[in-house]
A and B are shown apart, each in its own frame.
Chain A
Amino acid sequence: MDDILTLRLKVEDLLFLEADLLDRWMLKEWLALFTEDAWYHVPPSDVDGDTADPDKSLFYIVDDSMRLRERVNRLMKIGAHSEHPRSKVRHLVSNVRVERDGDVIRARSSFVVYRSKDITSDAFIGHYIHEIVERDGKMMIAGKKAVLDMEALRPHGRISIIL
């Protein structure tokens, strides 16, 4: 099999595992897929999400590794009212494309994430850009950007789950 196809299957396996852990609220295990210095970004709808710089534009989420850990810690607490009781979450990931850029594997994929709770079910639609590196023979996520393809975050009101 071509090298790039094998690579895509490996990356897909990682992304599907990631989605499964998020859907099952196994957030500590999810965090363990990330490198120590990983980042997680969600840009807003009125900038070019692929190229916008979070140090220069206002985003929805700009987490460095410290804040990503704190995001998980917070979501595990009962005081994170938006997610207690927890919503039901379903991540669908498809159209995965991969390319090597030196030591980094860049993966681009499409997503639909559903968040369902009491009165409503909301769909977040967009594309992911994952930066993946190999550490000790294992693939790890060094960075993840969820670019929303929606005109605004409506009628959602919040990104209280992890996209």
Chain B
Amino acid sequence: MERAQCLELIYPEIEDKLVVTIMGACAQELYDLGHKENFFYLQHAMGLASSIGLGLATHLPDEKIFVLDGDGSVLMNLGTLTTLARYRPKNLVHIIFDNGSLLSTGGFDSHTTSGITDLAAIARGAGIEHVVSVDGPMEFGEAFVEASEREDLSVIVAHVEAVGPDNYGMDFALPENAFRFKRCIAERRAASGS
């Protein structure tokens, strides 16, 4: 299973949701499916995508927040799983694409390579109740639908191949993404009266 395939599968469901991605391949693959103003791509500061998700979810209870994370990023901020478990935002879906590789920074093996470290077990051990680990697109799709409908924190660890896009680039500067994402949220709040 490839991450791009997973993203294509869920794109129709997340295109109108608040989405935070990690850097590199994951960000680019979502962008290539079609950028939306409600997408924020964290192109650096590895590990903090889920922390941004927690800040959003806490203050936007009427929104469903999707964080598209990776094994390398989560390994840099394992504490985030314990913070998520403690505050248990009911409107956050944390998807960790585990390719066992630091793909966007040279393709070196990460600690999850060959199943050495089990991120789903870590998430459960952190105290998160709804954690699934999936290997194929059907399983991923089912887990995604369940997580989307569940009114509780969900973590999906999706094992994917270590492949990414051939070309990288977005047509806006990084702060512009932040400004537009913030404005988009303000407009959604105004429209819904929340």
Q: Do A and B come from one complex?
A: no
